[in-house]
Amino acid sequence: MIVTDHDEPRAAGRIPEGLPADASLRRVLLACNEELLMLIVPLPDGNDGESAPNPVRITETVTAWAAEVDRQDSTSLPVITVPLYGCHVVWKPGQAAVVGPVSRLELLTTALSNFASCEGELRQLEQRCVDLVATVEEDAPHAFEFEGRAVSRRGTLAGRFREAVAVRGRLAVLAPAAHAPPVHPPTLASQLGERLRDRTRLAERHEFAVDRAELAERLYEACGQRISEFGIAQRQMALEWAIVVLLVIQTALLVVDLLSRGVTT
């Protein structure tokens, strides 16, 4: 899931005070085109976190760091902290901190990046679903009956249908990751992924997003059918009216002809 990553120099000044000297910042570009700023705090191998130098203070420091740094793309999701068997992970959209033994850091950062990619994409899809659902009430009447005055909205409705299908498609691709069953026997990476998915309610959010996208898809699919029916009806009606007009004019010609014959005689 990681596209590119690079270590931030400590001089960047964004590493909070009080952390071990080898703490570093890593900026990871996720597959969902979001950036994840990751604070990595290595602990000596072999400790369980409990015997690390001031583990409580370190976790408090990284949690505060995640809570304080304001990022434009952060959402209303709170900072999530996961104490995890000798490790400690803090996450919020766009930002994360990993505290753990050196030998586990790669496992944790990979798992965290995978999760963040999945969550980030879901969050983007949720926003697209919100935008779609916001128009549902306005467009719902067209799913029942499409009227001539709505012809100018045909392109808009078609665009929304395409958007709903696209969102549904992305959600379908995301489903295996969002609904991944717990792994047994567990690994540290699987445990981190499961807990983050659980704490961010990823599965439920995915289901809600699917429901919304499905609602929009069904609506705009129905709109499309109504539009198609309307178009067919319009073409048929136009032909009928054209015949009516021709018949009326022919009748008028006949009437005038009859009247003029009466005048002549």
Partner 1 sequence: MQLSPPPTVFLVMSASLADSSGKLPRVAIIGGGPGGLFTAWHLEQLTAVPLSLTIFEATARLGGKVCTASFASADIQYEVGAAELYDYSPVDVDPLRELVQQLGLPTVAIGGSAVFVAGRSIANLDDLGDVGGASARREFTNFDIRSRSAMTPADFYESGSDHAGDAVAGGRFEPALDEIGCGKARRYVDVMIHSDLATEAGETSCGYGLQNYLMNDPAYMQLYRIPGGNEQLMQAVAGRLAADVRLNAAVTAVGTGPNGTLHLQFRSGERHLAEDFDTVILALPMDALKRVRFTDTALADAMRQHVEHHDHPAHYLRVSVLLDRPVPVLPGDDAYVMLDAFGGTCLYVESACDPCATNGVLGWLIGGTAAVEMAFLTDDALVATVLDSLPPPLATCRDRVMEAHVHRWTNAVSALPGGWSRLPVDRRHRPSHAHSGFFVVGDYLYDSTLNGVLDSAEHVAGWVVAEHASGPGTMPMDRDRATMEAL
Partner 2 sequence: MSHAAAPRQASIDVLRTLAIVLMVVVHFVENLSGWYDGGSGPFEGVHRVWWLPTGFGAPIFAILSGMSYRLWLGVQTQRGLSDEMISKRTARRGLFLIGLGFAFNVLVWLPEDIFNWDILTLIGVGLLVLDVARRMPDWVVGMAAVLIIFVSPAMRVGVDYTAYWQAGYFDYDFTLTDVLLGWLVVGYFPIFPWLAFPLLGHALAAWLFHGTRSGRLRHIAASGVAGIATALVMTATWDALPAVLTGEGGRGWTMFPASTAYCLGTAGTVTLMVAILHQLLDGRRDDWGWLLDWATPLSRHALSMYLLHHVVHVWPLWVWGAVATGETTALWQVAMPPVASLVLAAGFLIGAIFFFHYVDRRRIPSTESLMRWLCD
Q: How far is the CB of 62 from partner 1 (least distance, A)?
A: 16
Contact 18, 62 (CB under 8 A): no
Q: How far is the CB of 156 from partner 2 (least distance, A)?
A: 12
Partner that binds at residue 245, options partner 2, partner 1, none, CB closer than 5 to 8 Å by kind: partner 2
Q: Between 86 and 224, whose beta carbon lies closer to partner 1?
A: 86
CA 124 to chain centre: 3
Q: Between 21 and 263, whose beta carbon lies closer to partner 2?
A: 263
Q: What are phi and psi of 148, to 5 degrees?
A: -60, -35
Partner that binds at residue 85, options partner 2, partner 1, none, CB closer than 5 to 8 Å by kind: partner 1
Strand partners, 96: 38, 91
Contact 96, 116 (CB under 8 A): yes
Tokens 């602990």 appear where? Answer: 43
Site residues, partner 1 (CB under 8 A): 46, 48-51, 82-86, 104, 107, 181-182, 184-188, 190-191, 195
Q: How far is the CB of 140 from partner 1 (least distance, A)?
A: 34
Other residues' Cβ atoms within 10 Å of the Cβ of residue 169 = 11
Q: What are the structure tokens assigned to 227, written together?
A: 């539009």
Q: Does residue 16 have a cis bond before it (omega within 30 degrees)? A: no
What's the start-to-end Cα distance of the chain, in Å? 95
For residues 88, 92, 93, 97, the Cα torsion angle rounded to the nearest 10 degrees is -30
Partner that binds at residue 253, options partner 2, partner 1, none, CB closer than 5 to 8 Å by kind: partner 2
Site residues, partner 2 (CB under 8 A): 149, 152, 234, 237-238, 241-242, 245-246, 249, 252-253, 255-257, 259-260, 262-263
Partner that binds at residue 152, options partner 1, partner 2, none, CB closer than 5 to 8 Å by kind: partner 2
Q: How far is the CB of 40 from partner 1 (least distance, A)?
A: 18
Partner that binds at residue 13, options partner 1, partner 2, none, CB closer than 5 to 8 Å by kind: none
Q: How far is the CB of 80 from partner 1 (least distance, A)?
A: 11
Q: How far is the CB of 66 from partner 1 (least distance, A)?
A: 17
Q: What are phi and psi of 91, to 5 degrees?
A: -145, 140
Cα separation, 93 vs 114, in Å, equals: 13
Q: Between 12 and 249, whose beta carbon lies closer to partner 2?
A: 249
Contact 24, 7 (CB under 8 A): yes
Q: Between 12 and 243, whose beta carbon lies closer to partner 2?
A: 243
Contact 95, 37 (CB under 8 A): yes
Q: How far is the CB of 123 from partner 1 (least distance, A)?
A: 23
Strand partners, 7: 26
CA angle 208, 211, 215 (to 5 degrees): 145
Partner that binds at residue 140, options partner 1, partner 2, none, CB closer than 5 to 8 Å by kind: none
Q: Between 48 and 211, whose beta carbon lies closer to partner 1?
A: 48
Partner that binds at residue 237, options partner 2, partner 1, none, CB closer than 5 to 8 Å by kind: partner 2
